[in-house]
């Protein structure tokens, strides 16, 4: 029952503000399957039918970067864009045949930036690890829970180089451009240490209940600043462009 309640809460959020960016380019979402089961999908539609939230939503909006929200703040179901399925709907991750939930809620809105890709064929020159084969992740630290599937413009503030199972898994720290905190936060040094430490430690520990080791972090475990963050986003956008153009091997990823 707990899972179903968490789900219905996540789905019931219908704050119009978080759909404002989506409205600019006519994106809507439609549920298929049953919430809390393997069949659930949140499908994205444009004016001419199905679209991919990964490939068809632009990286940049009018005031910031477009974030596709996968996991609303204070929920536990590990929802993510299904990169290997046609049109890349949002689905619940499955590990070892079971639907995956976090062991406790995530305290921020979590999602990704469209039109980005962490290339698993590319070794980071300093960190000597390869990308995790996903769009770049975003942790949005604003005051409101954002809806699953909503497209919200965010201001990047910093980025953390998480090393997960030997793969590079960047975490962009950002705030929604229309959140009151966006007026206070312009760079990583504006963000209180308690928030930065909280985000890092949450991601360090979150897999340990599954007998997984602590995650590590590059760059002395520090967040890089906003300018460096934009460079990282740009690099992942370039990697995505090569993937989309067929210049990089896609493997099982759906890119049409």
Non-local (6+) Cβ contacts of 167 within 8 A are 118, 120, 129, 130, 131, 132, 133
206 is catalytic: no
Asked whether 218 and 211 are in contact (CB, 8 A), the reply is: no
Rounded to whole angstroms, how far apart are CA atoms 206 and 194?
17
Q: Burial, 103: exposed, middle or buried (Cβ in 10 Å; 0-12, 13-18, 19+)?
A: exposed
**What sign does the CA torsion over 44, 47, 51, 56 have?**
negative
Asked whether 219 and 161 are in contact (CB, 8 A), the reply is: yes
Give me 219's structure tokens.
């760059």
Rounded to whole angstroms, how far apart are CA atoms 122 and 66?
25
Residues designated catalytic:
102
């Amino acid at each position: 029952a707990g899972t179903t309640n968490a789900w219905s809460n996540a789905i019931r959020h219908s704050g119009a503000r978080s759909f404002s960016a989506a409205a600019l380019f006519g994106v809507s979402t439609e549920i298929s399957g049953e919430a809390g089961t393997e069949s659930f999908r949140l499908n994205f539609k444009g004016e001419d039918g199905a679209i991919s939230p990964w490939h068809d939503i632009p990286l940049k909006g009018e005031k910031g970067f477009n974030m596709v929200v996968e996991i609303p703040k204070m929920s536990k179901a590990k929802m993510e864009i299904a990169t290997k399925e046609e049109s890349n709907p949002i689905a619940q991750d499955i590990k070892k045949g079971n639907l995956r939930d976090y062991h406790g809620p995530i305290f921020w809105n979590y999602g990704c930036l469209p039109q980005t890709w962490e290339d698993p064929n590319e070794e980071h020159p300093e960190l000597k690890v390869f990308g995790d084969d996903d769009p770049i992740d975003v942790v949005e630290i604003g005051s409101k829970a954002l809806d699953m599937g909503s497209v919200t413009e965010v201001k990047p503030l910093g980025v953390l180089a998480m090393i997960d199972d030997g793969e590079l898994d960047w975490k962009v720290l950002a705030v929604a451009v229309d959140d009151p905190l966006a007026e206070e936060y312009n760079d990583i040094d504006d963000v209180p240490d308690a928030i930065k430490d909280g985000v890092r430690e949450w991601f360090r520990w979150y897999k340990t209940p599954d007998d997984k080791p602590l995650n590590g972090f590059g760059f002395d475990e520090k967040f890089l600043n906003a300018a460096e963050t934009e460079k990282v986003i740009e690099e992942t956008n370039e990697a995505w462009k090569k993937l989309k153009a067929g210049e990089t091997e896609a493997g099982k990823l759906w890119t049409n």
